[in-house]
Structure 1
């Protein structure tokens, strides 16, 4: 059942917002195998990005434990030499209210690996 729509003061009825369903992976290894190539490609591009930008652009599933696994993914990529920290930005994630998040940039090694 859908909630009733509140009309605007001028009497017009606003369009309903479209929401996107985010899938959640069953296990960490399967999730990691799915998202890893997308982040490697982002690192090889040489542009600065946030984790959410890549996940949103590619409609990636959420990990089994989102509070821990997104950060773990970025730590693995950094430890493997694919990315480095680039600074901070406000997130574009709708539920985060423009909180500050880490930005990442691919390394020269990531660009060579993609070539």
Structure 2
């Protein structure tokens, strides 16, 4: 079943609206440049978070390969000393059916970098 698009009063057909779930970065480097500062700020906040919570709150695009790149981002942040593992939680991602996911917490280095 396909959705019908209602023409406007002048007869033109509007462009389909892009939603956050449709937004996906073209390449890894561009995506990383967009999401990196957001996750540094989340780490500097000192609160415990999941990757999805931050991505959803800031309406970040998906990477070119979501199954691999979200985890790679967090590994890079951990290797750079910005975050540490904090435990586990059930995700609130709608498509994940409350699966267990890693939680993260910013380090003192992240708080110093934000200052």
TM-score > 0.5 by shorter chain? yes
Residue 3 of structure 2: aligned partner:
2
Query: Which structure 2 residue ranges, 5 or more long, are not aligned?
Result: 5-18
> How far did residue 80 of structure 1 move?
0.1
> How far did residue 43 of structure 1 move?
0.1
Query: Which structure 1 residue ranges, 5 or more long, are not aligned?
Result: 4-19
Runs of 4+ aligned residues of structure 1 deviating over 2 Å after TM superposition are none
> How far did residue 55 of structure 1 move?
0.3
Residue 9 of structure 1: aligned partner:
none
Map 1:1-115 onto structure 2 (within 5 A): 1-2=2-3, 20-22=19-21, 23-115=23-115
> How far did residue 51 of structure 1 move?
0.2
TM-score, structure 2 normalization = 0.83
> How far did residue 84 of structure 1 move?
0.0
> How far did residue 2 of structure 1 move?
3.4
